Amino acid sequence: METRNKDGTWPSAQLCGMNNMPDEDEDFQGQPGICGLTNLGNTCFMNSALQQCLSNVPQLTEYFLNNRYLEELNFRNPLGMKGELAEAYADLVKQTWSGYHRSIVPNVFKNKVGHFASQFLGYQQHDSQELLSFLLDGLHEDLNRVKKKEYVELCNGAGRPDLEVAQEAWQNHKRRNDSVIVDTFHGLFKSTLVCPDCGNVSVTFDPFCYLSVPLPVCSRRVLEVFFVPMDPRRKPEQHRVVVPKKGNISDLCVALSTHTSVAPDKMIVADVFSHRFYKLYQLEDPLSGILDRDDIFVYEVTGRIEPVEGSRDDIVVPVYLRERTPSRDYNNSYYGLILFGHPLLVSVPRDRFSWEGLYNILMYRLSRYVTKPTSDDDDGDEKGDENEDEDVEDDSSSEEEKEEMSGPTDNDGTQESEQEQAGTSSGVTGRCPSLLDNSLHTSQWPPRRRRKQLFTLQTVNSNGTSDRTTSPEEAQSQPYIAMDWEPEMKRRYYDEVEAEGYVKHDCVGYMLKKNPVQLKECIKLFTTVETLEKENPWYCSSCKQHQLATKKLDLWMLPEVLIIHLKRFSFSKFSREKLDTLVQFPIRDLDFSEFVIKPKNESAPDLYKYDLIAVSNHYGGMRDGHCTTFACNKDSGQWHYFDDNSVSPVNENQIESKAAYVLFYQRQDVGRRQSQTASSETPTSPASSSTPNSDIMDVN
């Protein structure tokens, strides 16, 4: 046999070194309940949910402190934890409310939770609401007064009065589930399903332990993009545009058009990653595919990526920039080439779609940060190439071909300015060989030139990593071109600082204001009609098939302590995000009378009014974060801020914040009854009359 210590611990646990009490707290005397929990390693979610929120539910804490649980432990319930979870929680509550500890190390409880719920094994970060759900269910089964559960059929309305069906459903629930958890936390829903085909209505009443209410989601979002104009004299512009969350790429182009005065049909949107086009979007693609961390570039063009047959629009060519490295190339695999800079989308007129024309267009587009070689550079560097060209040229080459390869010249024998050659469509005016002729099949262009070329051009795959021997049909559908630079040429003529430069549009300073949301708005949204998803259809007993029925949840009966979980974490096919919307919730007099559809008892208005007693907070994002708690001490009525083993008093005006995640409300009639009981008893704590610390911490 073993007898508990006065603080609720077991002698055997102390002998095994598993006691939760730090040695330095043996002589400490403080206010009961003002006790922290040591973080064992990412266990702040556990500290916040079980100890500092659940422990401050007065009726549940009194139940354990007065040892009433000992008579109701259910050791044979196959759905329970053999009473071990309830005993471990009772030990923790007794130590917390003994007044002898500043903080407790919850090793024993953590081990029990991990033993019965493998998802909480180890020391990974978890969701405080998920642990709370497991704990309430586990305590209920460990303390269930029903030792043998009988079979109960599901109760359906079948046209009967709601009052009769609800009473029958609650009685059936109590026949299988009867515990302090049910008495304190369980309420009743009314669920109404309507078949869209035959109009069949199904009404059921289901118990609940907490409300998971959605937050009104803003229908708009702000996207940060870079606009790349065709005019090479203008730097790229950074913009912030407001777009509909469920819109398409075309909506992004329309929004950007108001800032740039460029027509939406003259824009192409691309996701640029690691110096290449990760994705080229179509106008009908959804905006949900763009994440906030993506680098989105919007290019001004005069055509489309995939030209329509018979169309006179320009052809848009994706162009990558690559630099040769000292390593050699083998078998046309570019281990010696690395991508750099931002890729381009270049508009090329159909009748100017040639290697020479493309080179001139690129020189024009890059003229802001690429310097043209001077005549002195040509004289000094190209003599060897010229002699080599003379050796390899055959006499069969016509004068016309030589003129075409040399490019347009003026009276002085120098090349015309790229701007003049580009013309209105950024093309060239000279007659040049087509990009789709035999020159396309060569490994590089130009293979031989008398005039200095800053870079060579090469058809590549969509990643720009390897050459591609392209047929005319493939080139016409989707030509990817690479500009290959020698290191010395890049150093002399390419200005990297200027190439990376951009300007910020006035709209960059715009921030989408998020108006605060009232808690009642969330509850109202919870009770609105919704259509079931395709993954979760309802079987209609009249149609004899699964239907996407409409569903409506209503509140029929509320519990003594109402737990409201704010669904801050949003999951979709493309993204996961946390909603940091400020939800404004009342600390006193939260009135649910407008949401409860059960016929009201007008003589007892306290049955629908609640006061806040605890808040579990979540700071941070999806993968990381920290949980803390605001809780009202049941004895003193003073609010405290619990941050693991740190506890400090706070004012009520500090409780409301964007981090609020789980709210605990107590019905006013229950709170008033407990206050009357407490006032008739003599305080036993040596610190019950102590004044709180005047240092108030700012936690918002």
DSSP conformation letters of 325-372: -SSPPBTTB-TTEEE-S--EEEEE-GGG-SHHHHHHHHHHHTTTTBPP
Closest to 521 measured CA to CA, from 245, 218, 213, 187 = 213
Per the residue annotation, which of 115, 259, 505, 626 is the catalytic one? 626
How many C-beta atoms surround the C-beta of residue 71 within 10 A? 8
- Residue 446 has which token pair? 């130009």
Q: What are the C-alpha distances in Å from 664 to residues 32, 316, 523?
A: 20, 59, 15
How many C-beta atoms surround the C-beta of residue 466 within 10 A? 15
Buried b (16+ CB within 10 A) or exposed e, 421-455: bbeebbbbebebbbbbeebbeeeebbeebebbbbb
Quickly list H helices, 78-195. Answer: 84-96, 107-116, 128-142, 162-176, 180-185
131 within 8 A of 110, measured Cβ to Cβ: no
Per the residue annotation, which of 35, 44, 53, 253 is the catalytic one? 44
The residues pairing with 630 across neighbouring beta strands, listed in sequence order, are 615, 641
Buried b (16+ CB within 10 A) or exposed e, 312-327: eebbbbbbbbbbbeee
Q: Measured between alpha carbons, how far is 134 from 117 in angstroms, rounded to an integer?
A: 8
Place of tokens 């109760």: 155
DSSP conformation letters of 543-598: TTEEE--EEEEEEEE--SEEEEEEE-EEE-SS-EEE--PPEE--SS-EE-TTTB-S
259 within 8 A of 243, measured Cβ to Cβ: no
- Residue 499 has which token pair? 């190439």
- Residue 634 has which token pair? 């049941």
Tell me, yes or no, if 44 is annotated catalytic: yes
305 within 8 A of 232, measured Cβ to Cβ: no
Closest to 171 measured CA to CA, from 190, 147, 188 = 188
Q: Measured between alpha carbons, how far is 71 from 143 in angstroms, rounded to an integer?
A: 9
* Range list of β-strands (E), 468-557: 480-485, 503-504, 517-518, 530-531, 538-540, 545-547, 550-557
Q: Nearest 5°: CA angle at 111, between 110 and 114?
A: 85
Q: What are the C-alpha distances in Å from 9 to residues 6, 44, 74, 90, 149?
A: 7, 23, 21, 10, 33
Q: What are the C-alpha distances in Å from 239 to residues 223, 242, 259, 302, 634?
A: 8, 10, 8, 21, 53
Q: What is the 3-state secondary structure (H, E, C) of 69-108?
A: HHHCCCCCCCCCCCCHHHHHHHHHHHHHCCCCCCEECCHH
The residues annotated with a catalytic role in the active site are: 44, 626
